[in-house]
Every structure is written in C-alpha cells, then in structure tokens.
Amino acid sequence: MRLIGKEEIENIAIGAALLGTGGGGDPYIGKLMALQAIEEYGPIKLLNINEVPDDALIVPSAMMGAPTVMVEKVPNGEEAVEAFNSIKEYLGKEVFATMPIEAGGVNSLLPLALAARLGLPVIDADGMGRAFPELQMVTFFLNGVSATPMVLSDEKGNNLLLNTINSVWAERIARTATIEMGGSVMLAIYPMDGKTIKASSISNILTLEEEIGRSIREAKRHNEDPIQEVLKLTKGHILFQGKVTDINRKTQEGFAKGTASIEGTHEFKENECFLHFQNEHLLAETKDKVLCMTPDLITVLDSDTGMPITTEGLKYGARCVIIGMPCDPMWRTPKGLEVTGPRYFGYDIDFTPIETLCGKESE
C-alpha cells in the first residue's frame, strides 16, 4: 500500500491520457476532480492487487459517454458518489475498494477522486490496460464477469439501476440511457470479489501511468526527448510524424466518431496518415499500408512537448507524433479479438500485431 498525493495525480493524468489512446474522457477535468478531492479529504490509499482479500467486494467506477460532451458538461463529483451509494444499498454489503475499468483520461482519475471522498482505497489495476469505447470491452468480460448490477447517475439526480442478461445488453441499454441523460453519466459497474479481480484484471496500471507521466515531465525538465522515454516504458514504436490537416469529427450514437488526416514531415514527408477513431483511436494507416490497429494502442503526442493529445483535442495545424504500443496479451486471444479487434469495428482486415507491422519484435 502507498499513498497518492497531488504530485502523483499530476503524473497519472499524463500517463492516463497517453494510455487512453485519445479517449477515456478529458484528463484535465479528471485531474482537477482528483486534486480537489485530495485537497479536501487527504491522500488516497493505493493497493497492490495482492493486498485485496479474496472475499472483499470491489466496485469499479467510471464515466460513460462521448468525450466531446465533457467540454460543456463537466461532472460535479456528486454523480459518482450517488451511483456508488445506490449500488452499495442494492447489494447490501460494504464496499472494500474501487478501481478504474480503463486506463484513460477521466476514467483513471475518477475512481481516485471518488475514493478520496468516500475514504476508500483504490486498487492498482484496471480492465483494459488502455481505453475502449464500449462497456463489454474489458478483461472482466473475457472472464465471464457481468457488468450488472450497474448504476448510472447524472448531474440532475437521476439514478438508473440495470440488471441485464449479459454485458453486451448492458452496453446497449446503458448507451441509450446515457444519450437521454445528456450524453455522459457516471457508473458503478462490474461488482466483483477480490478473487475475481486477481484473475480478471490488468495489474499495476496506475503505477505505469504515473511512471509515464513522470518520465515526460522529467524529460522536459532536463531537455531530453520525452517521446523516446515513453517508447521505452511502453515498448512502443513511432508510426508517423506530421501536421494535422483535416478532422472530420461528430458525436453520433453516444460516441465521438471521426477521422483525422496528418500530412507527413521529416522522414514521413510526401506521405499522409489517416487516424480513425470512436472515442479512442482504432486504426492508423497511409494510402499504402496499415500502421497499427485495435486492440494495440494508438496515441497522438505533441511533437515538442511529448504530451498526449485526445481525440477531442486534435486541432488543425497541430504538429504531432503518432506512436503505437502493444496491448495486453489478453486482447490478442481469439475471444479478445472478437470483442475488440478491427472487424468488430467494421474494418475489413485481420489483426496484425504492431511488432509485425513495424518489423520489430517487442523486447
């Protein structure tokens, strides 16, 4: 166990935005929520997954909706508390801890803010190792864990309890409800015991986010290349470098969907990269070849600072470096690819690991 304070939050926010592959909610908003909670309630206990009792009740917390909505509809923090209290009342058992369901923006930091307010620890683990757009796209689902009972809560005070036949139906019904509730809601979801958490989650994700954030900030402080430091930590590869020349982005069916075009510079001059996203970046390609694809991670970094740029933060003229990183091995299994592979999102290609596409094996 260790304590998370303001310095750790600053670093986690950067790392969460990077692993969030463009999605997971606005990291700046999540950071402010966590910093305010620590200011009011003190530092947060972060538990290693092995410190969790097998019979303890764990309830992950998250935001659902299109990241673009958060630009105008900022959560006040009460939504998450209400969702958490509602599911605790329904289950009739004290909750031992919370945790993120994904590594991304607000969804890495929301559980920390919630934990500070409720005096609970946070588990250093998640269910994706990155961010994905749909609720069933978690390693818990791969291991047969149900997303429900689940509570959705909005800023108006509405609470919705769902019990569904499976997690795919939970996604469909919750997505429709989210649209009606203003485009974003807070969730208490995937209640599990400690034994299930140990078998189903990706461990040490908050620690990795903190290391990534620290490496970027320290590299900038010492005039070193932050992108190279990120590549070392994530076993990543540079896919493309250039300037954003066009963005086609719209909020549709509860998601931020679109394509960004990047005109190549440096060794990528005379070429063009196309990024396809649905909240998160799912496919990077040129006219001639695929550079990286889901479930491997695709992230856009500012060329000068190495700071991650979210899908809603991509702007015309931005100079950026696009990197790809290998996903957790659970996503490369047949079931993992069925749930998050390129064909699920409508791309007519079979998954090829980034190591193969780049002609390099991860070390």
Question: Which domain CATH number covers 299?
Answer: 2.40.390.10
Q: According to the model, what pLDDT value does residue 42 have?
A: 96
Question: 40 and 147: one domain?
Answer: yes
What is residue 337's predicted lDDT score, i.e. its pLDDT?
98
Do 201 and 80 belong together in one domain?
yes
Distance of alpha carbon 146 from the chain centroid: 20
State whether 73 and 183 are in the same domain: yes
Q: pLDDT digits over 257-280, tens only?
A: 899 999 999 999 999 999 999 989
Q: What is the pLDDT of residues 307-318, one digit of tens each?
A: 999 888 899 999
pLDDT band at 290 (very low <50, low <70, confident <90, very high): very high
Chosen domain end from 157, 174, 205: 205
DSSP string covering 239-275:
EEEEEEEEEEEEEETTEEEEEEEEEE-GGGTT-EEEE
Q: Same structural domain for residues 135 and 9?
A: yes
Q: What is the pLDDT of residue 69?
A: 62
Q: Is residue 334 part of a domain?
A: yes
Q: Is there a single domain that holds both residue 176 and residue 39?
A: yes
Pairwise CA distance, residues 24 & 281, whole Å? 11
Do the beta carbons of residue 280 and residue 133 sit within 8 Å?
Answer: yes
pLDDT for 104 beyond 90: no
Amino acid (1-letter code) at residue 162? L
Based on the structure, what is the number of domains in the chain?
A: 2
In this structure, the answer to whether residues 102 and 22 fall within a common structural domain is: yes
The b/e string for 62-98 (b: 16+ C-beta within 10 A; e otherwise) is bbbbbbbbbeeeebebebbbbbbbbbbeeeeeebbbb
Residue 167 reports pLDDT greater than 60:
yes
- Domain extent at residue 303: 226-357
Is 301 within the bounds of a domain? yes
216 within a domain of the structure (yes/no): no
Which letter, b or e, does each residue of 207-242 get, where b requires 16 or more Cβ atoms within 10 Å of its Cβ?
Answer: bbbbbbbbbbbebbeeeeebbebbbebbebbbbbbb
